[in-house]
Amino acid sequence: MVLDTDAFPPASRLPSNPDLPDPLETLAGEPVSTPAEWRARRSELEALFRYYVYGYAPGPEPIAADVDRTESVLDGKATLLEATIRFVDLPDDAPTIELALFVPTDVNEVPVFLGLNREGNHAVVDDDAVTITDRGRRFGTDECGTQRKYWCVERILERGYGFATYHCADIDPDRDDFTDGIHPYYDTDDLPGPPGTEWGTLAAWAWGLQRCVDYLRTESVVRSDEIAVVGHSRRGKAALLAGATDERIGLVVPHQSGTGGCALSRDNDQESVARINGTFPHWFNDVFPAFGSRESRLPVDQHLLVALVAPRPLLDTEGSRDYWANPGRAYDALQAAAPVYDLLGAEGLVGTGRLSDGDELTAETADTLCQYRRETGHTLNRGYWDVILEFADLHFSRRD
């Protein structure tokens, strides 16, 4: 989209609006009442999020993937494919993504969950056949399987899904530093927006997920229109951004994604815009901090990012004791996004659109948009995976 600088004034010149921006009204105040009009609003919203919050990422960089290894793992229950995704037009020393793809043994084609990991690919399962990809990073570990109860890969495979993952630091180490990871390989002048709107870490991680989707769609064992992205917390923010800005992604699970994820910035009494930018300045662009303490001037809020996923399924899994992630304001975001699902002919929220521990997630209780709260703090575990898999079963054809 061509940037119209008058349409994108600085925070100080934007009107204060304590109400959430209406998803079905353009910035110029025009109503959006047809799917065709939504297409234009969609582009506008994507540009607004890039400009004001996450920053502009480069376009899709051509990739080449070398499958380095295919091996039977997990006592013969799965096949592991390890692939190196390279960016062919970038210099040889540019980062690569080391992707591990696990698929159930002897399947032709499966839907796949794609998740960013934080400790290395070898941490997601207890099998030392997986190549160690920690590279001495902040959360890196040499031990395999340290995150097995978090990812529950064996459960995912048993249920007829594949699981793909890469270490988020392959694309950008989680540091307030624009000189490491993928960022320095792009001249900021070549990015679409004006200075200050360059991509932050969340946008880089989301871009990396999208490059994995480029590869996964070429892999015959992957059902290309059934790729789900999932991520927890900061990686949940990146998963939501990836899903919102890439319509090839078939299902989105921003788990406990909080501020900058599903939780609204307005009236957020937990992690405010000022706090998140103060602690993690590198996650967003350099425009977003101006909205600290004046969230009401934001021309977007997070319900609009959720709306960009419509009509594709989105499950917002939250912990009722995970106060900092603010499940209440995430639920408000889902409710405010629901009219877009309705416009596009997908049933968004069924009933209240909110289920909790003990509630069954079925076609009667949930449709394309749903929040599921469990009695936990800030964590991912088997109980969540059971819910996520039920939700995916509703939408994906699953087994072959």
Which chain residues interact with ligand GTR by CB under 6 A?
233-234, 258-259, 271, 276
Nearer to ligand GTR, 175 or 399 (CB): 175
Nearer to ligand GTR, 281 or 339 (CB): 281
Which single residue brings its beta carbon nearest to ligand GTR? 233
Nearer to ligand GTR, 245 or 259 (CB): 259
Neighbours of 296 (CB within 10 A): 17
Q: How far is the CB of 235 from ligand GTR (least distance, A)?
A: 7
DSSP H or E segment with residue 158: helix 153-158
- Strand-strand pairing, 162-167 and 110-117: parallel
Determine which one of 183, 233, 265, 282 is catalytic. Answer: 233
Q: How far is the CB of 101 from ligand GTR (least distance, A)?
A: 24
Nearest to 47 by CA among 305, 392, 230: 305
Q: How far is the CB of 234 from ligand GTR (least distance, A)?
A: 3
Determine which one of 272, 296, 320, 378 is catalytic. Answer: 378
Distance CA 254, CA 299 (A): 22
Q: Determine the residue type at 238.
A: A
213 in helix, strand or coil?
helix
The phi, psi pair for 364, rounded to 5°, reads -80, -30
Structure tokens, 345: 């002919």
Find the length of the chain: 400
Q: How far is the CB of 118 from ligand GTR (least distance, A)?
A: 8
Distance CA 257, CA 262 (A): 6
Contact 381, 149 (CB under 8 A): yes
Nearer to ligand GTR, 193 or 254 (CB): 254
Nearer to ligand GTR, 185 or 324 (CB): 324
Nearer to ligand GTR, 263 or 370 (CB): 263
Annotation says 233 is catalytic: yes
DSSP H or E segment with residue 274: helix 273-279
174 in helix, strand or coil?
coil
Q: How far is the CB of 365 from ligand GTR (least distance, A)?
A: 28
Q: Spell 166-200 as b/e; 16+ CB within 10 A means b.
A: bbbbbbbbbeeeeeebbbeebebeebbbeeebbbb
Q: How far is the CB of 298 from ligand GTR (least distance, A)?
A: 17
Contact 203, 54 (CB under 8 A): yes
Nearer to ligand GTR, 199 or 341 (CB): 199
Q: Which neighbouring-strand residues pair with 355? A: 372
Opening angle at CA 244, ends 242 and 250, nearest 5: 80
Q: How far is the CB of 66 from ligand GTR (least distance, A)?
A: 31
Q: At what angle do helices 35-49 and 327-343 cross, to 10 degrees?
A: 140
Nearer to ligand GTR, 61 or 134 (CB): 134
Annotation says 183 is catalytic: no
Q: How far is the CB of 239 from ligand GTR (least distance, A)?
A: 12
Opening angle at CA 47, ends 186 and 179, nearest 5: 25
Structure tokens, 81: 């494919």
Alpha-carbon distances of 233 from 240, 254, 258, 325, 329, rounded to whole Å:
10, 8, 7, 8, 15
Catalytic positions: 233, 378
